[in-house]
Amino acid sequence: MFTTRFQAWVRRNAQRIARLLGRLPITPNQVTVAGTLFTFVAAALAGFGQLRPAGIVLALSGTFDILDGALARATKRSYPYGAFLDSTFDRYSEGAVYVGVAAYFLDHGDAFMRWEVLACMAALAGSFLVSYVRARAQSLGFRCDSGIFARPERVVVTVAGLVIGVWWVLFVVVAVLAVLTNVTAVQRILEVWSQARAQRRAREAAAQAPAAGETSRL
């Protein structure tokens, strides 16, 4: 994941912009929806072969993804439904981008087309798994923040591949995403497994403690 210092810098600047936006009649959910619509535009541009414009629009949509949460905090309008909507639309956004890139590869029609589309499918599955594993783990009370390729990294790498605008570079980027997203999902699964094992051992130790106390009294 990005360094703590970089994350703090992004949050500080996002909060400043959010305080300005808070003076306007704009809700965090509207920002979420607007960001998703921009992502759909980026996906469509990619599908029609307009890679550089797609990268620019996708980068713009990323600012919406940061600002919706910052605006919710700045205006004290953080609600469970807002978090749910943001998470759900993030999945739609990622899916749309991979579909757009796959459509570009299909239209490109080179000898590597099969591998390019398979890489898009693997990257899409990995991206969804990274988010699902975290959401499911947190719903069960586990911490799940590890992994080398969370959503911010995926967006930055995808934007870079689109802006460069060369088909084989984009193929390499998607292949890297296909590998590293699934590696990240496995990292998070192992993190939760480690926490579950520690909890089980703690329960077993607690269960054995009364028995040991009774034996000592005898």
What pLDDT score does 69 carry?
76
**Given pLDDT bands bounded at 50, 70 and 90, which one contains residue 3?**
very low
Catalytic residue set: 90
The top-level CATH class assigned to 4-202 is mainly alpha
Question: Which sequence spans correspond to the domains of the chain?
Answer: 4-202
Whole-angstrom Cα distance, residue 32 to residue 84?
Answer: 11
Q: Give the model confidence (pLDDT) of 11-36 as tens digits.
A: 666 667 767 777 777 888 888 999 99
